[in-house]
């Protein structure tokens, strides 16, 4: 089977619906967004991968779960129900689920500037327009 670029599929769908790409519909390339992946990993490095009698089919045997895995899930659910994002994130990082391999470190929270105003006209400072 030949690979087809997503853009080609999108243009074909637009043309089949009677629209003209570039004229009726604008296609914008915006790049990858946070959390998007270019490929999907179907098993972890610790999983046992074995062949089967079918050449293109593999058997994946995951690594065994720790004895306290169910308790960890219960605690994770409790953190999620409390909407404690930081605790839930920390628990997922510590659990053997591979979460930490694919997530970015948390971004520092930007300070909130509440009640800070500056009158450029009164201070004599130059105000550039964007």
Name the stretches of the chain with pLDDT < 50.
Answer: 1-3, 116, 118, 120, 123, 125, 127, 129-130
* Predicted pLDDT of residue 4: 52
* Predicted pLDDT of residue 106: 58
**Distant-in-sequence contacts of 91-98, Cβ < 8 A, 24+ apart:** 95/69, 96/63, 96/65, 96/66, 96/69, 98/44
* Predicted pLDDT of residue 88: 93
* Predicted pLDDT of residue 53: 95
* Predicted pLDDT of residue 23: 78
* Predicted pLDDT of residue 108: 60
Distance CA 14, CA 30 (A): 19
* Predicted pLDDT of residue 68: 94
The residue with tokens 């300070």 is 111
pTM, 2 dp: 0.43
* Predicted pLDDT of residue 103: 64
């Amino acid at each position: 089977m030949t690979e087809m670029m997503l853009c080609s599929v999108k243009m074909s769908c637009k043309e089949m619906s009677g629209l003209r790409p570039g004229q009726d519909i604008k296609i914008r390339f915006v790049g990858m967004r946070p959390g998007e992946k270019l490929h999907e990993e179907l098993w972890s490095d610790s999983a046992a991968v074995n062949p089967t009698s079918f050449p293109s089919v593999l058997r994946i045997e995951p690594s065994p779960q720790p004895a306290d895995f169910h308790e960890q899930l219960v605690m994770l659910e409790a953190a999620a129900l409390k909407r404690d994002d930081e605790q839930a994130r920390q628990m997922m990082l510590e659990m053997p689920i591979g979460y930490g391999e694919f997530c970015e470190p948390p971004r520092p929270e930007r300070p909130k500037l509440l009640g800070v105003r500056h009158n450029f006209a009164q201070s004599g400072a130059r105000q550039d327009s964007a």
